[in-house]
Amino acid sequence: MFYALMGIVVTAVAILMYNHQSGELFGYPIEAIGSVAVLSTLLLFLLSGRGSRRSAPPLKSLKYLVLWAALGLLLVLGYSFKDDARMLVSRVTGELVPGSAMVSSDGSVSFRRSAGGHFQVSADVNGSSLSMLVDSGASAVVLTRDDAEAIGIDTARLNYIAPVSTANGRTFTAPIVLDSISVGGLQANNVRAMVAQDGALRESLLGMSYLDRLGSWSVSGDRLTMSR
């Protein structure tokens, strides 16, 4: 019983941590959800001790009281330090998983250089997740045909009229406008982009048409930092 309720409390903490920025959960204010979670923990404590309190020795009752108090404290602390916990998780993930953003307290995000010497980022493009290579030498965002199709673009209807030079030689691209691109929570809308012909690129490029929409971006050593 104790471990099951411990799991419930830990799950509640995780949900509150990862949804607090939206301001609501299941259509209700996040503060209300947090209050209900705390009160539910106390209620479960009272109900669990209801049937055994009369026969339980005082020391055993005290033990249960301490355990339930610890559960309630865990829930409160987890929600109170949700921002710090999220930043810690993002930093650990960013160090271990290539392309994952490391979020700082000032709202900036950073990425570590990959083993290949490039900056690979995980970007949300028109609501779909894509792995992209940051390329300040590209004047615009450039999508491979496969990535363009993955986010719902009908590549067969595009006009490949814009000539570009790539590492594989000269090719043609189709100009498009993307509804949104978000990298580590830094979102830009109506972003100018191009779709490359099949085989022209091995991976999509996050070019200047997105980078220019940021407040700032810089490279220091093996770290790329972006901010609003």
Give the DSSP H/E element, type plus range, for residue 68.
Answer: helix 58-80
Specify the pLDDT at position 191.
Answer: 98
Is the predicted pLDDT of residue 187 greater than 60, yes or no? yes
* Token duo for residue 125: 């493009």
For 17, the 3-state DSSP assignment is helix
Give tens-digit pLDDT for 124-174.
999 999 999 999 989 999 999 999 999 999 999 999 999 887 666 678 999
> What's the N-to-C CA distance of the chain in angstroms?
47
Hey, where are the domains in the chain? 2-80, 98-227
Answer for the pair 194, 141: CB distance below 8 angstroms, yes or no. yes
Give tens-digit pLDDT for 17-61.
555 555 555 555 555 555 556 556 555 655 555 545 455 566 666
* Residue range 98-227, CATH number: 2.40.70.10
Helix H segments across 127-225?
A: 145-150, 208-211
Specify the pLDDT at position 8.
Answer: 58
Q: Sign (positive/negative) of CA torsion 66, 69, 71, 74? A: negative
Mean pLDDT, rounded, of the chain: 77
Q: What is the pTM for the complete model shown? A: 0.62
* Token duo for residue 159: 């006009």
Specify the pLDDT at position 86.
Answer: 54
Specify the pLDDT at position 70.
Answer: 72
